[in-house]
Amino acid sequence: MAVWNPCVHQLMVRAIGRWKWMTSKLATRRMDVDLEDYQKVYPERRLQG
């Protein structure tokens, strides 16, 4: 991600928000599995909570 601008950041924030909303509708066990995969893809997000 050499290029990082507010527009791209805003799109990612919205996508992550939608992802969190969708996972919140799923079973807890499924959400935990998705969360593990998500943290592998975005390890820096885990530090931010």
Report the predicted TM-score, pTM, of the whole model to 2 decimal places: 0.35
Residue of 18, 23, 22 lying closest to 36 (CA atoms): 23
pLDDT tens digits, 1-49: 456 677 788 888 888 888 887 777 664 555 566 667 766 766 665 555 4
Predicted local distance difference test score (pLDDT) of residue 47: 52
Can you list the positions of beta strands (E) in the chain?
Answer: none
Predicted local distance difference test score (pLDDT) of residue 45: 55
Instruction: Say how many C-beta atoms besides its own lie within 10 A of residue 7's C-beta.
Output: 8
| Cα separation values, 44 from 19, 27, 29, 30, 41, Å | 17, 25, 23, 22, 9
Predicted local distance difference test score (pLDDT) of residue 49: 47
Domain regions of the chain by residue span: 8-48
Largest CA distance in the chain: 36
